[in-house]
Amino acid sequence: MIIKRLETPEEYTACEKTMKAIWKFDDRDVIPHHVLKPINEQGGLVLGAFENGTMVGILVGFLAFYKGELHHHSHVTGVLDRYKGVGYQLKQKQREFVISQGLELVTWTFDPLQSSNAYFNFAKLGVVSSTYCENYYGEMRDSLNRGLVSDRLLVEWRVKADDVVRRVEGTFQQPILDKIPQAGIINETESRDGIRKCASLNLRLTNKRLLLEIPSDINNIKEEDMRIAQEWRDITRQIFETYFSAGYSVYNVTSEMKDEERRTYYLLRKDVHEDKSN
């Protein structure tokens, strides 16, 4: 696998095609090649992952300001289904590039109900978040987003932070759910006919650490019962907004098999920037 910055007109056009294949975008939703090029050549970064000369993954990020800090905003990262693992390599290349520019921050947004993205962002890369964006893009037309309001978490990837460096070096110990000390449980859930939904909700916890469970396959729930998917959006929006206002941040995600079912939890805590313990 070769990960590299795009250079030629043919590569920018291939990037459009790969984007369409990954997200099932129609023509209107693709970032056009004539926009990709200036992004890439004016301080931003457009990467392709190539397998035997074919582009199987892409990353597009541009220079931006966040709270007055020059940084990269990463707009899309994606790989074709059968190349899982390549997304991680694309993000590592982005990290190296940003550091080479003397910058320390990459931001992006993602749908907090997409559990594999949540795990990828928090557990594997080490982002943190305390910003919830309601209906960020308005209505989305692509197959992944269709049906639910486009709420997003804005994540901050401090590429030189200790927790990020330890992940890059492979020395970060991912916490085990049952061993997280003094964790308050925000929502109890129950599964009926293979569909997990919220059974109870506590918005008044003050524990040092909190656990928020999300479904491990919201896309399946969307197909099976849109009302339950919508309920997940409404409840998680309320939870994130309540606890972010109370000073909590999301600092990690665990995803473990329990009784042959994957269970995924956001981990929240206060003082996320100071507290280095798991």
Ligand X SMILES: CC(C)(COP(=O)(O)OP(=O)(O)OC[C@H]1O[C@@H](n2cnc3c(N)ncnc32)[C@H](O)[C@@H]1OP(=O)(O)O)[C@@H](O)C(=O)NCCC(=O)NCCS
87 binds ligand X (CB under 6 A): yes
Interacting residue with ligand X among 18, 40, 107, 115 (CB under 6 A): 115
Amino acid at 80: L
Question: Which residue reads 């004016």 in tokens?
Answer: 42
According to DSSP, the residues that pair with 211 across neighbouring strands are: 185, 267
Interacting residue with ligand X among 8, 27, 53, 85 (CB under 6 A): 85
Interacting residue with ligand X among 94, 117, 130, 254 (CB under 6 A): 117
- The CB-of-215 to ligand X minimum distance in angstroms stands at 9
254 binds ligand X (CB under 6 A): no
Residue 187's φ and ψ, nearest 5 degrees, are -135, 130
Query: Which burial class, exposed, middle or buried, applies to 47 when counting CB atoms under 10 A from its CB (0-12, 13-18, 19+)?
Result: buried
217 binds ligand X (CB under 6 A): yes
Residue 194 to residues 62, 64, 191, 220, 225, Cα–Cα distance (Å): 41, 42, 6, 10, 11
At residue 257, the 3 state secondary structure works out as: strand
- The CB-of-170 to ligand X minimum distance in angstroms stands at 12
| Distance, CA of 114 to CA of 218 (rounded, Å) | 6
Binding segment for ligand X (CB under 6 A), chosen from 4-12, 60-68, 79-87, 198-206, is: 79-87
Q: Which is nearer to ligand X, 11 or 213 (CB)?
A: 213
- The CB-of-18 to ligand X minimum distance in angstroms stands at 10
- The CB-of-55 to ligand X minimum distance in angstroms stands at 13
216 binds ligand X (CB under 6 A): yes
Whether the CB-CB separation of 218 and 243 falls below 8 Å is answered with: no
Binding segment for ligand X (CB under 6 A), chosen from 6-14, 74-82, 191-199, 219-227, is: 74-82
Query: Which burial class, exposed, middle or buried, applies to 264 when counting CB atoms under 10 A from its CB (0-12, 13-18, 19+)?
Result: buried
* Contacts to ligand X by CB under 6 A: 22, 76-79, 84-88, 110, 115-117, 119-120, 216-217, 255, 262, 264
